[in-house]
């Protein structure tokens, strides 16, 4: 359904944009119909940048993003509007997604004005209520309220309902759980799982491994804009191969066992060459005789639907 082909993003930083910051480097993966792919990485790993490029909020520097056989960078005018009918995003902070001086259901009215101006108001009202019920809200309780009168979980579900009003086929969910309380978190996660069974594809961006495991079929591990490991969720979590993935697994706090003693490098070794593996300066297994220092390992298949970019498997 959606394919990223060698996508890179370079930001210009510094006073006059003199320095280049590579936020995403040569990333390729695909999301199939009715599939949830979780994009896991620390802050600064480029996961939100990828989400924004898919939503065309920022252009890719190089590479192609293909949605149903069409390169999305070529879309213009009505075709772009058609794209947004089918691809939508929901973001981390539900409180800042609303204008506090308008009622929260203004987001639905904006959708109607923009995409469905010909639909009669009564029919539209019915559709809004159906969408709200689909995300587990009681329309009578939540319509006509201001954002501050609704909880974070309710606002977040409002935004998902807004996406459902369109004929959405692909949802970019960027850290949509992290601002919510434990008790409402699971409800939003289960909602995503239900939507998936209705054929929606979801790119689930998160830094929380347990959430990614709960919901997704496949996982992509990002570090400094590069994919270090990707494949079926069971393989990534069951037999993590990259030292970074293993460090992440070992440091995620769990309820079933205590932390293992793993080496966490907070102070980086000095990276001697920019061409080396991105994880070289924190990797406990990087050695000088291997090419980690000077050569960036390519993503290779080690198993059916399990890819890893590490010098030990190259």
Q: Which long-range contacts (CB under 8 A, 24 or more apart) does 229-238 make?
A: 229/306, 229/307, 229/308, 229/309, 229/310, 230/29, 230/299, 230/306, 230/307, 231/303, 231/305, 231/306, 231/307, 232/305, 232/306, 233/38, 235/303, 235/305, 235/306, 236/306, 237/209, 237/213
Smallest gap from residue 153 Cβ to another protein (A): 8
Note whether 186 binds another protein by CB under 8 A.
yes
Quick check: 120 binds another protein (CB under 8 A)?
no
Contact region for another protein (CB under 8 A) — 3-11, 16-24, 166-174, 188-196? 188-196
- In the list 181, 198, 270, 274, the residue contacting another protein (rule: CB under 8 A) is 181
Nearest approach, Cβ of 252 to another protein (angstroms)? 5
3-state DSSP assignment of residue 102: coil
Could you tell me the strand order of the sheet in which 2-13 lies?
Answer: 19-31, 2-13, 62-67, 70-71
Q: What is the DSSP string of 202-267?
A: EEEEES-HHHHHHH-SEEEEEETTEEEEEEEHHHHHHS--SHHHHHHHHHS--SSSPPP------S
How near is the Cβ of 257 to another protein at its closest, in Å? 9
Cα separation, 87 vs 31, in Å, equals 13
Does 252 engage in binding with another protein (CB under 8 A)? yes
Three-state SS at 196: helix
In the complex, least distance from residue 114 CB atom to another protein, rounded to whole angstroms: 32
| Binds another protein by CB under 8 A, chosen from 13, 70, 96, 259 | 259
- Distance between first and last Cα of the chain: 29
Q: Which stretch binds another protein (CB under 8 A): 61-69, 73-81, 111-119, 189-197?
A: 189-197
Angle made by CA atoms 186, 157, 222, in degrees to the nearest 5:
65
State yes or no: residue 149 binds another protein (CB under 8 A). no
CB of 243 to another protein, least distance (A): 12
164 binds another protein (CB under 8 A): no
Please report whether residue 42 would count as binding another protein according to CB under 8 A. Answer: yes
Choice between 262 and 301, CB closer to another protein = 262
| Spatial CA neighbour of 46 closest among 221, 197, 217, 191 | 221
207 near another protein (CB under 8 A): yes
- Quick one: which of 248, 277, 283, 286 contacts another protein (CB under 8 A)? 248
Binding test (CB under 8 A) with another protein, winner from 69, 113, 256, 289: 256
Query: Which one of 22, 75, 249, 291 is in contact with another protein (CB under 8 A)?
Result: 249
The CB-of-266 to another protein minimum distance in angstroms stands at 5
Task: Point out which residues pair with 223 in neighbouring strands.
Answer: 226
What does the binding site for another protein look like in residue numbers (CB under 8 A)?
42-43, 151, 181-187, 189-190, 193, 207-211, 213-215, 233, 237, 247-249, 251-256, 258-259, 264, 266-267
């Amino acid at each position: 359904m959606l394919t990223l082909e060698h996508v890179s993003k370079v930001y210009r930083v510094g006073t006059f944009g003199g320095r280049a910051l590579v936020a995403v480097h040569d990333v390729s993966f695909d999301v199939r119909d009715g599939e949830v792919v979780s994009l896991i990485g620390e802050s600064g790993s480029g996961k939100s940048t990828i989400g924004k490029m898919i939503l065309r909020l920022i252009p890719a520097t190089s590479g192609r993003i293909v949605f149903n056989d069409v390169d999305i960078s070529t879309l213009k005018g009505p075709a772009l509007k058609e794209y947004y009918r089918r691809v939508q995003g929901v973001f981390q902070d539900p409180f800042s997604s609303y204008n506090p001086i308008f009622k929260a259901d203004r987001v639905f009215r904006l959708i109607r004005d923009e995409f469905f101006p010909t639909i009669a108001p009564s029919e539209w009202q019915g559709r809004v209520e159906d969408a709200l019920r689909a995300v587990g809200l009681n329309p009578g309780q939540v319509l006509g309220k201001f954002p501050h009168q609704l909880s974070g979980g309710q606002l977040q579900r409002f935004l998902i309902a807004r996406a459902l009003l369109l004929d959405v086929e692909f949802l970019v969910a960027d850290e949509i759980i992290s601002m919510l309380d434990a008790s409402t978190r699971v409800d939003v996660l289960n909602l995503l799982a239900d939507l998936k069974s209705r054929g929606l594809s979801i790119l689930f961006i998160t830094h929380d491994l347990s959430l990614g495991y709960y919901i997704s079929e496949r996982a992509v591990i990002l570090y400094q804009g590069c994919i270090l490991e990707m494949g079926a969720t069971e393989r990534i979590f069951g037999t993590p191969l990259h030292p970074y993935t293993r460090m992440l697994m070992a440091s995620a706090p769990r309820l079933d066992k205590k932390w293992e003693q793993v080496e966490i490098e907070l102070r980086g070794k000095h990276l001697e060459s920019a061409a080396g593996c991105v994880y070289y300066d924190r990797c406990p297994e990087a050695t000088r005789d291997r090419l980690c220092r000077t050569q960036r390992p390519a993503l290779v298949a080690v198993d059916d639907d399990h890819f890893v970019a590490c010098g030990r498997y190259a």
